[in-house]
Amino acid sequence: MDLTVLLFLLLYFLGMLAVGVISMRRGGASSMEGYYLGGRNVGPLVTAMTMQSTSMSGYMFLGAGSLGYTQGYYGFWYAAGDIGGGVVNLSVLGRKMRKLSQIMGALTSIEYLEKRYPSKWVRLFAAVLSVFLLGAYVLAQFIAGGKGLELVTGLPYEAALAIAVAVILAYTLMGGYGAVAYTDLLQSFVMIIGIVWILIATLQEVGGFTAANEALGSLDPTLLSVWGRDLAYEGQWGIVLGALLIFSIGYMGWPHVVTRHMAMRNPFHARRAGVYSTLWNLIFVSAPYILGVLAILVLPDLDDPEQAIFALAQNLLPSAVVGIVMAAIMAAIMSTADSILLQTGSIAARDLYERFINPNMKEVQMVRVSQIIVLLVGIACGLIALFEPPAVFAVVVFTTSVLGSAFLPAYVCAVWWEKANTPGALSSMIVGSGVAFIWQYFQLDGVTEIHPMLAGLVLSSLTMFLVSLLTQRSHPVPEHILTAIRETDELRPLPNRLKAQQDFALANEAYCVSYSSGGR
């Protein structure tokens, strides 16, 4: 166990906890809007960095490295989509979703869906699906954190996992969205420093890109191909297109990511946030895949490919630098785990418990219930992670494929297509999630050569359009929703008369009154 590495990690963890304390003292957890959305007062740089660091997750240091190690440059299909994911998300949804969510007084991404597509069944299905899938995503991050700390510090996996879970839970509970967003900002810079440092050290070890590619070519020429080892994916454009889509437009279906739009201080910050996110992606995204490929040369006998980047750091860097790189790896893991934990607690508390069980809760009670659920989900995922942890890559691809297939058409059509109605949205979510789940569970991608994300997204989109058009007469979009959507098209700040200034503790009741008065 290296004391220098432990010292760096200890300082890093203390820094994250300090942000949580500061956010708590600034009132980050004193109100529902403050706890869920940071008071809708988050600037463009923080918005971009919390979106990107949340999107990347421990997958980038475990799953991406593993994919590069096992399949060579095939992983660049995922990287190519990922580089543009942030700017696509912010350009398509950013400004319009920010304005519409405030007009409708929505505090969670699932509540937003119900208010755009008025039906308790939309909210119930979306909330249950989200809690289940986001819980699995949290599990993947905890496993990544435990594995990383175990390898670098020498601690037993159980102890390493407990430390990672305890730190993440602590600052998430203290400061809510504010703590999550500002720790994500710091973590995004730590991630850049760490990944660049280890990439430089690895390139020096292998003699540069040219020498590395020549060595790989002599070892196995197919590793240099974008079709995978032994050209396993050659010509399988259905698989490749799905790999491109999952981390590009797939972002727009992830509840924990689209919430970032709702928290922006100003709708027009979306454009600047898109620039920041793209610049960050250009530096960060490709590096983990490259490191996985280069690890084939440096560590040819690695037992666990998911440990490729951890092992490179340990073998090539001085102890002090290993501490920094390990902090970067933990930053990727923690920046995603905290966001998903907060989102899972928010959805379970507001979209399930308050909406269907106890609608008369006061605002302070709602925040406390959210915190309790975050704690319970964190403990439950931590306990599950102790036993036979699955591969992080498999869990992340599964959850993100189902989430993207289920929700992407609903979120995009919410602001861009006035005819998108309740039956269309509900059927789209059911079809999209069902197809993506079945496709992966029965491994139909191997039979059809079509990626689960592509299959789910195409069918959910078709369902949205067909069902919405066929049910326009029986389920027209209410006039007050059409008015709100048209308001998002205006290139001006949101008028004060439309700003949601109601008591959020009574938001559901207020919305029901508005909906009934708007007619069906």
Q: Residue 72's Cα: distance from chain center in Å?
A: 25
3-state helix, strand, coil in the chain (%, to 5): 80, 0, 20
Return the sign of the alpha-carbon dihedral for residues 246, 248, 252, 257: positive
Q: Determine the 3-state secondary structure of 249 from DSSP.
A: coil
The first and second tokens of residue 72, run together, are: 């060579």
507 — pLDDT class (breaks 50, 70, 90): very low
Alpha helices in 105-119 (DSSP H): 109-116
Cβ distance 137 to 307 under 8 Å?
A: no
Cα gap 461→454, rounded to integer Å: 11
CATH number of 3-393: 1.20.1730.10
Q: Are 47 and 183 in contact (CB under 8 A)?
A: no
Burial pattern 219-228, b for ≥16 Cβ within 10 A else e, equals eeebbebbbb
- Rounded to an integer, the average pLDDT of 318-327 is 77
Q: Which residue has the tokens 């200034």?
A: 501
What is the number of other CB atoms lying within 10 angstroms of the CB of residue 27?
14
Q: Rounded to an integer, what distance in angstroms lies between the CA atom of residue 9 and that of residue 326?
A: 7
Q: How many helices (H) and strands (E) in the chain?
A: 23, 0
DSSP string, 122-178: HHHHHHHHHHHHHHHHHHHHHHHHHHHHHHHH---HHHHHHHHHHHHHHHHHHHHHH
**Band of the pLDDT at 122, cuts 50, 70, 90?**
very high
Q: Are 255 and 110 in contact (CB under 8 A)?
A: yes
Residue type, 342: L
H or E segment at 429?
helix 422-441
DSSP 494: P
Identify which has the larger pLDDT, 322 or 156: 156
- Kindly state the tokens that stand for 194: 């760490």
CA distance 487 to 100: 8
**Euclidean distance between CA atoms 385 and 379, whole angstroms:** 10
| Number of Cα atoms under 13 Å in the Cβ half of residue 314 | 16
Q: Which structure tokens are listed for 152?
A: 């670098």
Which of 44-53, 150-159, 302-311, 395-404 bottoms out in mean pLDDT, i.e. has the lowest? Answer: 150-159
* Amino acid identity, position 439: W
Q: Say whether 450 sits in a helix, a strand or coil.
A: strand
pLDDT for 428 beyond 90: yes
| 434 contact partners, CB below 8 Å, separation of at least 6 | none
Predicted confidence (pLDDT) at residue 284 exceeds the cutoff of 80: yes
Q: What are phi and psi of 450, to 5 degrees?
A: -125, 130
Average pLDDT over residues 60-84: 91
pLDDT of residue 231: 95
Could you tell me what percent of the chain has a pLDDT over 70?
90
Instruction: Single out the residue of 394, 392, 410 nearest to residue 461, CA to CA.
Output: 410
Rounded Cα distance between 144 and 138, Å, is 10
Residue 462 above 90 pLDDT? Answer: yes
- CA–CA gap between residue 194 and residue 213 (Å, rounded): 23
Start-to-end Cα distance in the chain:
66
Nearest to residue 419, comparing CAs of 480, 358, 467? 467
What tokens were used for 484? 């709100």
Q: What are the phi and psi torsion angles at 42 (to 5°)? A: -100, 130
| C-beta of residue 260 within 8 angstroms of C-beta of residue 53 | no
Phi, psi of 154 (to 5 degrees): 85, 0
Q: What is the pLDDT of residues 235-280, one digit of tens each?
A: 999 999 988 988 888 889 988 888 888 989 888 888 899 999 999 9
Angle, helix 286-298 to helix 269-284, in steps of 10 degrees: 10
Dihedral sign of CA atoms 8, 13, 17, 20 in order: positive
| pLDDT per position as a tens digit, 338-389 | 888 888 888 999 999 999 999 888 878 888 888 898 899 899 988 988 885 6
| 226 token code pair | 């974008």
Maximal C-alpha separation, the chain? 72
**pLDDT above 70 (res 26):** no
Listed range (55-69, 167-181, 227-241) with the worst mean pLDDT: 167-181
Average pLDDT, the chain: 85
What DSSP letter does each residue of 325-343 carry, written as one string?
Answer: HHHHHHHHHHHHHHHHHHH
Coil, helix or strand at residue 42:
strand
Region label for 27, one of left (φ > 0), alpha (ψ between -120 and 50) or beta (otherwise): left
